[in-house]
Structure 1
Amino acid sequence: MPSFIRDPKDFWSGVIFVIFGLAAVIIGRDYSMGTAGRMGPAYFPTILGGLLALIGSIGIVRSMIKSGDPVSRFAVREIALIMVAVVVFGVLVRGAGLAISVVALVMVSGYASKKFKVGPFLAVAVGLAAFCVLVFVKALGLPMPMFGPWLGF
């Protein structure tokens, strides 16, 4: 690592933010922008990507000013568990319903934490599932089953 980078964590997180932000801006260029009053399909990803790249740039500059800890090990197990949790959610949401898939998402991704305990995570999962059902199915009326056909509902 070059000597002018004093905080590697801020530097690499800034680089990741800049990459994703610029990718959103570049991808958004293929769509019409519109105006603030009549936003086109490129408006939101371009603005959000620009802000993300700006935040990343601030992180990179900050990494050269303040000292910080070195980057520790790459958390492969934790990243894999979170990716598996998202895939499990996607697979379960149509067949098992929103409530079951949210519980599965929270439990599998929670297992990536060193502080995982079944009881507290299950309580959060059930609460989040109830909240999601109330907001997305009841309040917004999204055509998504609370409990899917796999469960006989």
Structure 2
Amino acid sequence: MRSFIRSPKDFWSGIMFLAIGLATVVIARDYPMGDAGRMGPGYFPTVLGWLLAAISAITLIGSLSARGAPMERFAYKDMLLILGSVLLFGLLVRGAGLACAIPALVIVSARASAKFRWGPAIALAIGSAVFCVLLFVKALGLPLPIVGPWLGA
């Protein structure tokens, strides 16, 4: 049996983003909307949810007419590395501090790339840590430890 889906990658990404957009709209309906002049807390997520749903619907329709690339193998290892890096960041940020959590996030998530090399990953990790400390702790004044209590600070 022939499939009516001509671009499976676009089709499934459209389905995923349509679900996320509609879920955002459903969750945001419990918040007061306000209006364009006086936006309530539900206004922005609702507008973005509908916008995401509209764009994903266009992608879905396009996947039925335009030929696209076939689906590739699902990269479980890469997904687990990226999700694990975010979890690791969450576990480290209060105890070890931002200067340790950011490099851990960058290096572990960079390992998901087929083009991973240690030199650029370490340079990016150090640069990201310096940037995040300057932005979030120094400029914005967020109460995040630069070096946490686990490291003797």
**Structure-2-length-normalised TM-score:** 0.94
- Tell me what 2:125 maps to: 125
Runs of 4+ in 1 over 6 A off after TM superposition: none
- Tell me what 1:25 maps to: 25
Letter in 2 for 1:43: Y
- How far the C-alpha of 1:136 sits from its partner, in A, is 0.8
Q: Secondary structure at the match of 1:68?
A: coil
- How far the C-alpha of 1:68 sits from its partner, in A, is 1.0
Does 2:61 match 1:61?
yes
Of 113-122 and 31-40, the range deviating more from structure 2: 31-40
Q: Secondary structure at the match of 1:94?
A: helix
Letter in 1 for 2:150: W
CA distance in 1, matches of 2:123, 2:90: 22
Letter in 1 for 2:97: G
Q: Secondary structure at the match of 2:64?
A: helix
- Tell me what 1:13 maps to: 13
- Tell me what 1:83 maps to: 83
- Tell me what 1:105 maps to: 105
- How far the C-alpha of 1:16 sits from its partner, in A, is 0.5
1:16-51: CA deviation from partner (whole Å, max 9, x where unpaired): 100000000000011111122322121121111111
1:88-109: CA deviation from partner (whole Å, max 9, x where unpaired): 0000000111121111001111
* Same amino acid, percent of matched pairs: 60
- Tell me what 2:34 maps to: 34
CA distance in 1, matches of 2:143, 2:55: 36
- How far the C-alpha of 1:114 sits from its partner, in A, is 0.8
Of 140-149 and 11-20, the range deviating more from structure 2: 140-149
CA distance in 1, matches of 2:146, 2:43: 33
Q: Secondary structure at the match of 1:72?
A: coil
CA distance in 2, matches of 1:126, 1:144: 17
Give unpaired runs (5+ residues) of structure 1: none
CA distance in 1, matches of 2:70, 2:40: 42
May I ask how many residue pairs the two structures share in their alignment?
Answer: 153
Give unpaired runs (5+ residues) of structure 2: none
Q: Over aligned residue pairs, what C-alpha RMSD do you find?
A: 1.4
Letter in 2 for 1:146: I
